[in-house]
Amino acid sequence: GENVEQHPSTLSVQEGDSAVIKCTYSDSASNYFPWYKQELGKRPQLIIDIRSNVGEKKDQRIAVTLNKTAKHFSLHITETQPEDSAVYFCAASPNDYKLSFGAGTTVTVRA
Amino acid sequence: NAGVTQTPKFQVLKTGQSMTLQCAQDMNHEYMSWYRQDPGMGLRLIHYSVGAGITDQGEVPNGYNVSRSTTEDFPLRLLSAAPSQTSVYFCAMGTHRSSGSLYNEQFFGPGTRLTVL
């Protein structure tokens, strides 16, 4: 099955700086890569996703890049704010339905 | 529309007890799934369904049963609870995009926190 590795497990950044989270996947058939944000005690919420026919996607301060050859994808958050503090999960889908998640990255934005 | 609802929010069981976690959606989405979330392990897929009458196993199906008799409901049954099943359980729904590229955007319910003593 698909195996997704996520790094780093924790990330502390100064407010206004950028944060980058990287994920690798094992199944070359994976074609859908969503990112979820989970605040403490809340449900995971989809923040951005990318398909395998696209190399980069941006939504305001959030961007995701995909390198199919190397089988890795990354989440970039620019101009971080305190409300960006949360756990972020990457995921990969080798078919239309199953999502395999990374272990998560706890992001702390220091004021 | 409420999206995805889950009941109960919290549950404590004794080892060997059985129970059903409820999940319901009012969006008429074909796809529903159950995940468990454990510290440091992300979310792991237990079972999923692509429509009424169709279910399949995910990554960690042992000890759990599901059924999908209607589009709206996708209950998860614990047959004989074990301490290893202590976790937070999330139900998710998704719709199959038909814009030429097949992928599944999934939305999660609020979760059920289960403790097995």
Q: What is the pLDDT of residues B48-68, one digit of tens each?
A: 998 899 999 999 999 999 999
The mean pLDDT of A75-103, rounded to a whole number, is 92
CA distance A91 to chain B (A): 9
| Residue contact B109–A99, C-beta within 8 A | no
pLDDT score of B100: 44
* A94 in reach of chain B (CB within 8 A): no
| Residue contact A51–B103, C-beta within 8 A | yes
pLDDT score of B29: 85
Sign of CA dihedral A46, A52, A57, A62: positive
Q: What is the mean pLDDT of chain A?
A: 94
Name the more confident of A95 and A19. Answer: A19
pLDDT score of B101: 44
Q: Which two tokens stand for residue B108?
A: 């999660």
Nearest CA to A65 among A97, A24, A10, A106? A24
A19-25 and A4-7 strand pairing: antiparallel
pLDDT score of B106: 84
pLDDT score of B35: 97
Nearest CA to B25 among B95, B87, B89? B95
pLDDT score of B97: 55
Q: Which two tokens stand for residue A25?
A: 């996947």
d(CA B57, CA B65) in angstroms, rounded, equals 9
Residues of chain B with pLDDT under 70: 1-2, 96-104
